[in-house]
Amino acid sequence: METSMLRRRALAACTATVAVGALGLAGLTGTASADPSPAAPKSPVAGADRLSPGLVEAMRRDLGLTADGVRARIGAETRAAAVAAGLRHSLGAGFGGARVSGDAAGLTVATTDAADTARITEAGARAVVVAHSLAELTSAKDALDRVARHRPPKDVPAWYVDVRTNRVVVQAGRGAAAETFLAAAGVPRALVTLSQSSGRPRTFTDLRGGDAYYMNGSGRCSIGFPVKRGTQGGFVSAGHCGTPGVSTSGYNQQAQGSFQGSTFPGRDYSWVAANTGWTPRPLVNGYGNGDVTVTGSTEALEGSSVCRSGSTTGWHCGTVQQRNSSVTYQEGTVSGVTRTNVCAEPGDSGGSFVSGSQAQGVTSGGTGNCTQGGTTYFQPVNPALQAYGLTLVTSGTPTDPPTDPTDPPTDPGGSWAAGTAYAAGDVVTYGSGSYRCLQGHLAQPGWTPPNVPALWQAL
């Protein structure tokens, strides 16, 4: 482990706090107007009434909601994600991003073409006309990422696309450092908002995001989510926790497995193959309040509620601030992480981020603590699954993993469509058959219901 990594702590450190200056976010400007708070849709969402008691309690504490309010918000966020996925597909190049806001999870969708506003409104969302498409902003951020991969910027801790302001936000301790970074990447200043920040993000190395595990009998990290690769069981975690070949032992100090793949910096994910004595379960440690059962990995929209499980601080909740962010640690830049206002402390690294029953990612790093609050980044779980050919272990799902997307055959007709976000319980038609969704996912070309029994059940 690098000397700058957070070193192992005794398990008794669960109540310890480490004070680190939080990343500030000030002076953001943009063309989007104030967030709406429309009433939540009334239709039920599968799984919203079966949330973990621990997750419900944590969201009540951290977001100030009632138990019914938690269920209503999760249901509204799930519906919003599905609507947003459909609009992103139909709006094409003009799509400017989507977000939810307020306890009712009101959906706002941005477009560069005023002619699209009627279509957005008809879909039940609030339309905002913006100057830049999401693709344009993402392209600018990608240019910054390319520069950072070769030469991590000094005094520029983080950058991300902010769909609320329709800008790329670059946080920096000095304005000159940010300007140098932009110039090296060739990013137009008109696309960027600079934000003053003195924060120094670091990785949460000695953490558990469910159950603890140990690397080579010393350093401690946390299991993110149990997975399978064919018949081989294991789990995903943070990449900075270990390199291929490093052995692991479980929370009980019994031999567990070894790292098979790891990426850090650049990304921050890894996967560990476990011994046959360890059985993957679709659970996240609920810390005495009931474990969370994972049913899928549909990505939550910006503004959605999200909760983290960690061995130092237990359950803590907040909201997704920006997806596809980049952050510079001492070891280098990590891109593609999601920025949240959920607190975390040493001992929480690698741990699980969930939204409702949907797996979101594994704890990477951040600033602050759970006494004063802070910023935490998580590595989304889906890219980790794709990188290593893994299947997330979920509740009620056959063990056979879906195959990689292939070129689809001639469209036989039906309501199923690639690019659509489906939730567990959704029913679609494909050809002459009907199918029920077993786990939430974003449909890919080739993942037709007859071809992926892990995702769809024939009716």
* Catalytic positions, written as ranges: 240, 268, 349
- Contact by Cβ (8 Å): 225, 380: no
Residue 86 is encoded by which pair of tokens? 């459909």
Tokens of 427: 């029913």
Identify the DSSP state of 267.
Answer: S
**Cβ contact 132:110 at 8 Å:** no
Q: Phi, psi at residue 397, to the nearest 5°?
A: -110, 135
CA distance 301 to 324: 11
**Angle, helix 53-63 to helix 67-91, in steps of 10 degrees:** 90
| Sign of the dihedral defined by the CA atoms of residues 228, 229, 230, 233, in that order | negative
Structure tokens at 183: 């110039």
Q: Per the structure block, which two tokens stand in for 31?
A: 């063309």
Closest-CA residue to 265 (of 151, 346, 348, 179) = 151
* Strands 192-196 vs 167-172: parallel, antiparallel or unpaired: parallel
Structure tokens at 430: 């494909």
Contact 366, 200 (CB under 8 A): no
| Nearest to 315, CA basis, from 282, 294, 288, 281 | 288
Decide: 234 and 260 in contact? Cβ < 8 Å: yes
Place of tokens 């799930």: 78
Q: Which two tokens stand for residue 41?
A: 């849709």
Which has the closest alpha carbon to 331: 364, 288, 298, 297?
364
Helices (H), 286-399: 381-388
Torsion angle (degrees, nearest 10) of CA 289, 290, 295, 301:
0
Q: 247 pairs with which residues across the strands?
A: 258
CA distance 311 to 370: 13
Tokens coding 55:
């997750």
Phi, psi at 138, each rounded to 5°: -65, -40
Evaluated on CA atoms 162, 55, 397, 453, the torsion sign reads negative
